Amino acid sequence: MLKNSFIVLFLIISFSILYGNYLEVKNFFARSSGDDISVKWNVSNEDNLKLFEIERSIDSDNSFKRIGDTKPDGSKMYEFADKEAYFIIDTKKKAANKFQSDKVYYYRLKIIFDDDTFIYSEKTSPLIHKVNSVKRTWGMLKEMFR
């Protein structure tokens, strides 16, 4: 009887260790509003989470760069506004100060745990950001005086 109790206790602890920190990213998507790009996601579990880093890629070769971060707050629902998406320099074409309207963007999350291990989410589907003309004009005027 005591042996069975130890086996059951061992199985419960093992299951908790293996599946207690299971994290699933759900509904991860990005949407263009004409002003900026909103990145939204939900998670199934926030245990032992330290940080969400949001990364963006404008290349088909998936070279992602960190653009911001969000700390877990217990809500399990998150949103990040990429306000700089309308003005990205295409370094491969050496096109400095060129607005990238109608550029294809990809986003992903780097999910960092308390022990500094991390995983990546799947990247989002391709997103074409159509910048509204007022924002594009204002951005060009600001760049002239930098």
Per-chain mean pLDDT for the chain: 75
93 within domain boundaries: yes
The CA distances from residue 58 to 4, 22, 43, 71, 124, in Å, are 57, 30, 25, 25, 12
| Mean local confidence (pLDDT), 48-58 | 93
**Confidence band (pLDDT; 50, 70, 90) for 22?**
low
**Residue 134 pLDDT > 80:** no
72 within domain boundaries: yes
**Residue 61 pLDDT > 60:** yes
pTM score, whole prediction: 0.68
**CATH no. for residue 123?**
2.60.40.10
125 within domain boundaries: yes
127 within domain boundaries: yes
**Confidence band (pLDDT; 50, 70, 90) for 9?**
very low
Domains in the chain, number: 1
**Residue 39 pLDDT > 90:** yes
For residue 116, give every residue at least 6 positions away whose Cβ sits within 8 Å of its Cβ, in sequence order, or none: 50
The CA distances from residue 17 to 10, 20, 47, 110, 137, in Å, are 11, 6, 12, 22, 54
136 within domain boundaries: yes
Q: Among 15-29, 42-56, 77-91, 99-113, which is the least confidently predicted range?
A: 15-29
Tell me the residue range of the domain where 94 lies: 24-144
**Stronger pLDDT, 47 or 8, i.e. the higher one:** 47
For residue 78, give every residue at least 6 positions away whose Cβ sits within 8 Å of its Cβ, in sequence order, or none: 40, 41, 42, 43, 52, 70
13 within domain boundaries: no
Res 81: pLDDT: 93
